[in-house]
Amino acid sequence: MNFIHRFSIKTTFLLLFFFFLCVPFILFGVIWYKEATKTVENNAYQASEQLVEQLSNKLDIYFNELERVTLPLATHPLIQEFLKINPSSDYNRYQNSKLVGTQILDTILFGRKDLYGVSLYSAQGNTVSTTAIFANQSRFDSYMKQDVDRKNFRFFGISVIDSASVLTVGRNLYVTNTMQLSGILAIDLKLIELHTMAQSVQISKTGFVWIVDNEGRLIYHPESNRWGQPLSDAEMSESIPLEGQFLTRKSEDQHHLISSFRSKSTGWTVVFQIPIQALTGDMVSLRNMTVTIGICLVIIALVTVGGYSLFLSRSLSRLRYMMKKAELGDLSVTAPTHKNQEINSLYHSFNKMVEEIRGLIEAVHISKVKGKQMEIKQRESMLASIQSKINPHFLYNTLEVINSHAIMEGYKPISRMVIALAKIFRYSVGSPHELVHIQMELDQIQTYLEVQKQRYEELSMEVNVPFCEVVQVKALKLLLQPIVENAFIHGYEKHKKEPAYIGVFDELRADYYVIKVVDEGGGMSAGKVEQFNHVFNEVTMNQIVDDHQHPFLNRIGLWNVHSRIVLTFGNPYGLHIAKSDESGTVIEIRLPYE
């Protein structure tokens, strides 16, 4: 058997098959077919019935799968919104239709050569389709008139589009809270696919299959010009036998066998017509002798081919085991050399593939690390450039001169404000990533509010943080001041309100420490609050949202504070807008316990 290893697998199997099966069966084939005539004739009827049932089952599986795939779409949020949108709302209708087309309809068509198009119609008068010719509300009206029983998944009939025959099936769509029929998802199938299914069960070039729906229309027929045409009552009775029975009809000097099978799933009837001569052929008997010889030859062939198959299967099983280990993450596995040329080439390709995967994983890891480092450096450069715009020494000296003049002239309020400003600027100088105790931040914001108090005499300040003395919490410098400034600018000034109240409170929670900044300004809309909190949640250690793509570009204080917290401490720490309405805003700063 060693000489066999020098041939390819394909050549080896061909040689074994030819010498041990083909040559003997060619010699005894004539005798075999003569004796087998009677047996084939008796089995012809059963074979015909099985073929019809096989095609019917294929159709059932095909349409059941199509029904199953479209079932989750009935409750899809985008489709539910599509059913409710008023056509007069042009913007909402355009946005929703665009999302429905790209995220749902195009997804259904992806990779499906059997589909011509997918369309969505609503009772409100909205339409969206992958094919412009189907974006017509009149289709919805015509579909709604069909099938008075309103089955959820139904067949609408055959139409010809651009010389292509299509079968339209659809799913009824209901608004979930009212269960009112409000739309239809229409799927147009290429009838050529049914032709392919019908051809797959043919056993003779002279036999053919045709399909009739429950209304007597031809869904498929070898003569394509009859697709969609109804059958007369005479044709129905003469050409379609009852299920489980057969008809014989003479046509063109041949006797044809006709069998049928009715699908319970689709309601269609599959009819198979084939000349009896094509089933029986010209075979005559001597079956017993050929059976004995055939059994002996099969045994010899099985022993010979089986031995070589075992040799190959053992090698392939080893490769499968190694691939399983690689799939589970063990990329150190290596296939050995093999004496068969093709198996050895396969092993070599496997080793090369595993090696390339290891290299790709390492390259991706390095790329992610470098990308994250670049993002952090970029943000550090931005903060440094902002801080470098002010010369702190110049400010200190200037404030000292102002303070001296105030003391000399006896203006104590001015002196207090200058001292407070000096403390604020002195605290602001340094690395923005420097970690400080939360108490230092609270002292800083107290000083800041005292300065604002000089400007707004009616301002009421409240800094009540009893828990900061009993827990150890680290914070980054300048976390509170941007948020309090945001309250003055966007909470009061933007709404043309005099600043009346600013409160700072703390709270202990199971997973983090919370500082709350409260104001009584004009607040913001619920939609903006939801949008801001959504973007806050997007900012993770692995995904920093581009500033220029979000509304926070004009609110760099909040955005900068949240980004710095997440980049330093990770999730779930950062900012969260707990409340914002006409009575005021509450912003939470979530920090980890030390």
Identify which of 266-275, 387-396, 516-525 has the greatest average pLDDT.
516-525
Work out the pLDDT band at 178, boundaries 50, 70, 90: confident
- Percent of the chain scoring above 90 in pLDDT: 8
Q: Which residues pair with 591 in a beta bridge?
A: 513
CATH class name, domain 432-591: alpha beta
What are the tens digits of pLDDT across the range 74-91? 888 888 888 888 878 888
- Rounded distance between C-alpha atoms, residue 354 and residue 352, angstroms: 6
pLDDT of residue 540: 58
Per mean pLDDT, which of 101-105, 312-316, 580-584 is the most reliable? 580-584
Q: Quick check: helix, strand or coil at residue 283? A: coil
pLDDT digits (tens, 9 = 90+) for 8-39: 655 666 666 667 666 776 776 656 656 665 56
pLDDT of 582 strictly over 50: yes
Computed on alpha carbons and rounded to an integer, the radius of gyration of the chain in Å comes to 40
How far CA 18 is from CA of 3, 25, 131, 303, 475, in Å, comes to 17, 10, 53, 15, 82
Mean pLDDT (whole number) for 541-563: 58
Which amino acid belongs to residue 200? S
The span from the CA of 451 to the CA of 454, in Å, is: 5
Distance of CA 355 to the CA centre of its chain: 30
What's the confidence (pLDDT) of residue 170? 83
501/458 Cα distance (integer angstroms): 8
Average pLDDT score over residue span 375-401: 61
Structure tokens at 265: 């799933």
Does position 159 have pLDDT exceeding 50, yes or no?
Answer: yes
CB 333 within 8 A of CB 325: yes
Instruction: Give the three-class secondary structure for 307.
Output: helix
Higher pLDDT among residues 354 and 149, named by residue: 354
Which position has the higher pLDDT, 286 or 161?
Answer: 161
* Cβ atoms of 217 and 225 closer than 8 Å: no
Candidate ranges 247-256, 312-321, 376-385, 468-477; pick with highest mean pLDDT: 468-477
Q: What is the second-level CATH architecture of the domain 61-194? A: 2-Layer Sandwich (3.30)
Q: Does 160 have pLDDT greater than 70?
A: yes
pLDDT at res. 554:
47
Look at residue 552 and tell me whether its pLDDT is greater than 60: no
**Position 423 pLDDT exceeds 70:** yes
CA 3 to chain centre: 53
Asked if residues 442 and 480 have their Cβ atoms less than 8 Å apart, the reply is: yes
Cα 253 to chain centroid, rounded = 58
36-40, 188-192, 479-483: which has the minimum mean pLDDT?
36-40
Torsion of CA 219, 221, 224, 226, to 10 degrees: -70
Query: Would strands 208-212 and 460-464 be described as parallel, antiparallel, or unpaired?
Result: unpaired
In the predicted model, what is the mean pLDDT of residues 178-207?
76
Helix (H, G, I), strand (E, B) or coil at 513: strand
The mean-pLDDT minimum among 65-79, 96-110, 429-443, 577-591 falls in 429-443
CB contact at 8 A, 508 and 584: no
CATH 3.40.50.620 fits 205-276, yes or no: no
Half-sphere exposure at residue 162, Cβ-oriented, CA atoms within 13 angstroms: 7
**Separation between Cα atoms, residue 493 and residue 276, nearest integer Å:** 94
Distance CA 420, CA 448 (A): 7
Given a contact cutoff of 8 angstroms between Cβ atoms, the answer to whether 174 and 181 are in contact is yes
Evaluate whether 127 touches 186 at the Cβ level (below 8 Å). no
Task: List, in order, residues 6 or more apart from 124 with CB less than 8 Å away.
Answer: 83, 84, 85, 86, 87, 182
Rounded to 5 degrees, φ, ψ at 190 are -75, 125
End-to-end CA separation in angstroms for the chain: 74
- Would the pLDDT of 345 be above 50? yes
Strands 513-519 and 474-476: unpaired
Give the 3-state secondary structure of 231-292.
CCHHHHHHHCCCCCCEEEEEECCEEEEEEEEECCCCCCEEEEEEEHHHHHCCCCECHHHHHH
Q: Which of 236-245, 333-342, 495-504 has the highest mean pLDDT?
A: 495-504
Neighbours of 209 (CB within 10 A): 23
pLDDT tier for residue 434 given thresholds of 50, 70 and 90 = confident
Query: For residue 271, what are its two tokens?
Result: 């009819």
Helix axis angle, 23-35 relative to 37-70, nearest 10°? 100
Q: Which two tokens stand for residue 388?
A: 């470098």
Measure the CA angle with vertex 163, ends 162 and 167; round to 5°. 90
pLDDT tens for residues 200-248?
766 566 677 778 877 777 877 777 777 777 777 777 766 777 666 666 6
The percentage of the chain sitting over the pLDDT mark of 70, rounded to a whole number, equals 70
Q: Which residue has the tokens 């059994």?
A: 295
**Pure H helices in 410-437:** 412-428
Three-state secondary structure along 123-177?
CCCCEEECCHHHCCHHHHHHHHCCCCCCCCEEEEEEEEECCEEEEEEEEEEEECC
Q: What does each C-alpha distance from 265 to 71, 85, 573 come to in angstroms? A: 16, 34, 55
- What confidence score (pLDDT) does residue 546 get? 47
DSSP 231: P
Lowest mean pLDDT among 309-318, 375-384, 542-551: 542-551
Contact present, 275 and 207 (Cβ < 8 Å): yes
27: DSSP letter: H
Do strands 460-464 and 501-508 pair parallel, antiparallel, or not at all (unpaired)?
Answer: parallel
Do residues 594 and 472 touch, judged by C-beta distance below 8 A? yes
